[in-house]
Chain A
Amino acid sequence: MSLQLIPPDVNIDFVGRRKFFVMLSTAINIAAILLLIFKGLNYGVDFAGGTLVQLRVNHQTTSNDLRHALGPLDLGEITIQDFGQKNQYLLRFEKLSSLKGFTPRLNGALEKYYGQGNVEVLRVESVGAKVGRDLRRDAIGAVIVATIFMGCFIAWQFRNVSWSFGAGAVIALVHDILVVVGALVISQLQFDLTTLAALLTVIGYSVHDTIIVSDRIREDALKRRRESLPQIMNRAINETLSRTILTSGVAIFVLIALLALGGPILRPSAFTLLIGFITGTYSSIYIAGPVVLFWERRVKIKALPRAA
């Protein structure tokens, strides 16, 4: 037998402590919704509309110098951000009245200030407000439809134990999205297309992890019909604990490395993935399970006598 992180006979009472964690999660989710409403995500130009310019200046410069250089272009309010590597800067401003001829004008103004050949425009992204809104709407729509389908599929696959596993997975997923979004609001990292891709990955992971844990509950429930559901659930969580720690542990380790080494391009997505994988692992145990228990104890049992 080789390495072993978790002893095989581990038995932690997860289910017994669920009330505390459900309350904690609810509080965090409410906080996330409030943050989203009152502070809001720091949308990148992809979603908010506007223009983003990434450029490299060949020698040391400051944002004040850049503002001076761009003064003649009359771009309105400019946000300038040090990109953190190789004298690169990110400029962001509202959408231009016309995109035609913008790059030459930008180049001209910069070269006039810094001298010919000392500035390189690496990237220009300009998105109309309507395009950004459409993209946001389409992405949210697609995710909602996909979630509904996944929920139905899971409910059907686990019907022998309880129909509520689908609801459990979906609620756990919503919980994870809210936690990640809350973290993004607090960190004010930019929410752009790359962050969206990371969020989609989190969604995939969250559902995957929930299914893995639920699968063991299903297996044990069908095998040990005499035990109560909370007992079975706790056993299943302990049995899969080794796998849970391994998989999410390795993923989280890789993500921390990415966050530290990946540079500024990857930072928002690495952060999103890191938070998402942590909450995705947690919610499979403390959100999906309690939803099923709640359904089986309160809703179903109350409904039965009335039907009788």
Chain B
Amino acid sequence: MENGNFAPVMVLVALAVAILYLHLNNGRAQTRIYLTAILVAAAVFLLVPSFTPELPSWWTTYLPVPRIQYGLDLQGGTHLLLDVKLDDAVKNAVSRRADDLKRELKDSKITGARVSTTGDTIQVELANPSDRSALEDIVSRDFTDMKLGSTPSATGGTIYTLNYTPRDLAQLRSNAMDQALETIRNRIDQLGVRETTVEREGESEILVQLPGIQDPERAKELIGKTAVLEFKIVDDSHSVEDALKNGPPPGDEILYGPPERGGREPYLVESQTLMTGDVVTDARVRPGSRLEGPYVSVDLDQRGARIFDTLTAENVGRRLAIILDNTVYSAPVIKERIPGGKVSITGRFSIDEAHDLAIVLRSGALPAPVEIAEERTVGPSLGRDSIRQGELSFAVGAAAVLIFMAVYYSGAGLVADFGLTLNILLLICVMAAMQATLTLPGIAGIVLTLGMSVDANVLINERMREELRNGKAPREAVRIGYERAWSAIHDSNISTFVAGLILFQFGTGPVKGFAVTLCVGVLTGLFSCVVVTRIWYDYLISTRRLTRISV
């Protein structure tokens, strides 16, 4: 309903309410039948866009164009359910705070303190018990979001622990979730696919729907990148081979380049991160030399420019590793100090790779890794097959019912057929105007409510037959038939409607799709097959054309 498609629904609802009002207050049968005709016309008119691919331009400018939205199971596309690893987000946050603490301790000249993290806790072991008050000072000054506690250690000393309060922890998780959602939405938006859905589902999951997408693999690649950009200095004073054999020297770590034909190239880098991707303001693909391929030019904000300026000034002659998600993309030698905050990342990318890299750098890092928990990709040809098969079965079923009613009940059957046809029309109209998505389970809901509305007419007609058999006049037979059948129709439809509301509230995905069409179908069914068919009889009676009833 976001697209301002309320208007057509309102027109339909207004007409329906007017008809219902007149009906309940025994308004003139002629008026009611005219209003019904207008309603039918409006419904047909609203449905034109759904069945014509090309509309004249004046139509799209001046008139609402609600179309039926097909679900991915019907139109083809990719549906992804992403699991955001929130525990990792907490772990990352805790380890960042642990790094802060280490720095603070160093600044306060506290030596020999051991800082480590386990899960969501920072542990501090002080070499010198007298440093305790200094630690408390630091915590009360800079770590107000964490709680300080202590436990005796195995060696008889004291381990100080820093924990987030449960409230802050919950806040942290919810922030991480929001950020992940925002980041993924940004990335998806830049794919240029129409009518995508990115929404939160449950506590830690994100639902992504990409209708009609051609290359789902690329989307998955793009979404899944954590995109943590880091700059570190390559340690050329030790040999990589030694480090690979005997483990890296203290303060260093081994990272690898992107997978290539000759395996992944190892790099020995200093563990300290000098700059991260949060200072990136923009990233663009630039055409590069034939040998190097395109590269990504990155703009940094003021703070980033300053950091980059200092770090290049301090490390002239050394190599700077540009690391994305723990993969070293390039490690150029710093030839001179670089002011101005422009960095380029080369790495023998293809155009698409460079493009996607620019997108993830622009949209920022994910606060936590994201795992694809569910994927459904339906090719467009299969979607078309499903629609065709669905339409065919629907047409055959509906035709069988229409013909049967007409043959079995003759005149009354035709009235019922009119009600059923109007019901189908209105249902599709409301679905289109509400921008509700039609899925296979949704079709099941439609079929059930259509069945129920036909059954309502069977009930009414059987009752009319009974009354006619008992010698009642046609007029009386109609009145009693509707009156007596109403209690059953009413109870059954209300209980179905209530069930639909509950399924919508508590169900997920497919169950929800079923519930929506169920609720809409009950309403349109009651209106078309009980109210409107009655209007027909009232009209026939009022014009005295109903002297004999054929049922």
Residue A104 CB within 8 A of the other chain = yes
B40-92 interface with A by 8 A CB criterion:
81, 83
Residue B351 CB within 8 A of the other chain = no
Which A residue's beta carbon lies closest to that of B381? A122
B526-551 interface with A by 8 A CB criterion:
550-551
Residue A8 CB within 8 A of the other chain = yes
Please indicate the chain B residues that have their CB under 8 angstroms from the CB of A196 in the complex.
441, 510-511
- Distance in angstroms between the alpha carbons of A31 and B34 in the assembled complex: 57
Known: A149-B502, A208-B492, A254-B397. A130 touches B373 (CB 8 A): yes
Residue B514 CB within 8 A of the other chain = yes
A236-265 interface with B by 8 A CB criterion:
239-240, 242-243, 246-247, 250-251, 253-254, 257-258, 261-263, 265
Stretch from B95-103, B292-300, B483-491 forming part of the interface with A: B483-491
Which A residue's beta carbon lies closest to that of B202? A134
Please indicate the chain B residues that have their CB under 8 angstroms from the CB of A100 in the complex.
217, 220-221, 224, 372
Contact mask for chain B residues 490-507; partner A; CB cutoff 8 A; 1 contact, 0 none? 011011101100110111
Which A residue's beta carbon lies closest to that of B550? A2
Q: Which of B373, B458, B503 has the most CB of A within 10 A?
A: B373
8 Å CB contact of B499 from A5, A99, A204, A216: A204
Which B residue's beta carbon lies closest to that of A135? B508
Known: A131-B374, A153-B498. A194 touches B448 (CB 8 A): no
Please indicate the chain A residues that have their CB under 8 angstroms from the CB of B141 in the complex.
none
Expressed in whole angstroms, the minimum distance between the Cβ of A244 and any Cβ of chain B is: 10
Please indicate the chain A residues that have their CB under 8 angstroms from the CB of B408 in the complex.
2-3, 5, 246
Query: Do residues A211 and B372 form an inter-chain contact, with CB atoms below 8 A?
Result: no
Query: Do residues B393 and A258 form an inter-chain contact, with CB atoms below 8 A?
Result: yes
- Distance in angstroms between the alpha carbons of A193 and B389 in the assembled complex: 17
Query: Do residues A207 and B499 form an inter-chain contact, with CB atoms below 8 A?
Result: yes
Query: Do residues B375 and A126 form an inter-chain contact, with CB atoms below 8 A?
Result: yes
A115-136 interface with B by 8 A CB criterion:
120-128, 130-131, 134-135
> Number of residues in B with C-beta < 8 Å to the partner?
71
Residue A205 CB within 8 A of the other chain = yes
Stretch from B24-32, B262-270, B399-407 forming part of the interface with A: B399-407
Query: Do residues B503 and A200 form an inter-chain contact, with CB atoms below 8 A?
Result: yes
Query: Do residues B400 and A254 form an inter-chain contact, with CB atoms below 8 A?
Result: yes
Residue B474 CB within 8 A of the other chain = no
Query: Do residues B400 and A207 form an inter-chain contact, with CB atoms below 8 A?
Result: no
Expressed in whole angstroms, the minimum distance between the Cβ of A235 and any Cβ of chain B is: 13
Expressed in whole angstroms, the minimum distance between the Cβ of B369 and any Cβ of chain A is: 12
Residue A190 CB within 8 A of the other chain = no
Residue B452 CB within 8 A of the other chain = yes
Query: Do residues A142 and B377 form an inter-chain contact, with CB atoms below 8 A?
Result: no
Which B residue's beta carbon lies closest to that of A126? B375
Residue A12 CB within 8 A of the other chain = no
Interface class of chain B by DSSP: helix
Q: Which of A8, A104, A212 has the most CB of B within 10 A?
A: A212
Q: Which of A130, A131, A197, A247 has the most CB of B within 10 A?
A: A197
B98-147 interface with A by 8 A CB criterion:
none
Contact mask for chain B residues 463-475; partner A; CB cutoff 8 A; 1 contact, 0 none? 0011011000000
Known: A250-B400, A262-B389. A142 touches B507 (CB 8 A): yes
- Distance in angstroms between the alpha carbons of A138 and B515 in the assembled complex: 14
Expressed in whole angstroms, the minimum distance between the Cβ of B167 and any Cβ of chain A is: 27
Query: Do residues A257 and B382 form an inter-chain contact, with CB atoms below 8 A?
Result: no
Residue A111 CB within 8 A of the other chain = no
Please indicate the chain A residues that have their CB under 8 angstroms from the CB of B459 in the complex.
212, 243
Contact mask for chain A residues 95-107; partner B; CB cutoff 8 A; 1 contact, 0 none? 0000111011000
- Distance in angstroms between the alpha carbons of A257 and B446 in the assembled complex: 18
Expressed in whole angstroms, the minimum distance between the Cβ of A89 and any Cβ of chain B is: 13
8 Å CB contact of B410 from A2, A218, A242: A2
Please indicate the chain B residues that have their CB under 8 angstroms from the CB of A103 in the complex.
216-217, 377
Please indicate the chain B residues that have their CB under 8 angstroms from the CB of A139 in the complex.
507-508, 510-511
Query: Do residues A123 and B379 form an inter-chain contact, with CB atoms below 8 A?
Result: yes
Q: Which of A126, A201, A253 has the most CB of B within 10 A?
A: A201
Residue A54 CB within 8 A of the other chain = yes
Known: A149-B499, A196-B441, A204-B496. A138 touches B378 (CB 8 A): no
8 Å CB contact of B496 from A122, A198, A207, A251: A207
Q: Which residues of B are interface residues toward A (Cβ below 8 A)? A: 81, 83, 202, 216-217, 220-221, 224, 372-379, 381-382, 386, 389, 393, 396-397, 400-401, 404, 407-410, 440-441, 443-445, 447-448, 451-452, 454-455, 458-459, 462, 465-466, 468-469, 484, 487-488, 491-492, 494-496, 498-499, 502-503, 505-511, 514, 518, 550-551
Q: Which residues of A are interface residues toward B (Cβ below 8 A)? A: 1-3, 5, 8, 54, 99-101, 103-104, 120-128, 130-131, 134-135, 138-139, 141-143, 145-147, 149-150, 153-154, 157, 193-194, 196-198, 200-201, 203-205, 207-208, 211-212, 215-216, 218-219, 239-240, 242-243, 246-247, 250-251, 253-254, 257-258, 261-263, 265-266, 269
Q: In the A-B complex, list the 5 residue pairs whose CB atoms are closest, starting with the nearest.
A: A197-B441, A215-B488, A142-B506, A197-B444, A142-B507
Known: A124-B377, A208-B455, A269-B444. 10 other contacts (CB 8 A): A2-B409, A5-B408, A122-B379, A124-B376, A150-B499, A197-B440, A204-B518, A212-B459, A250-B454, A258-B396
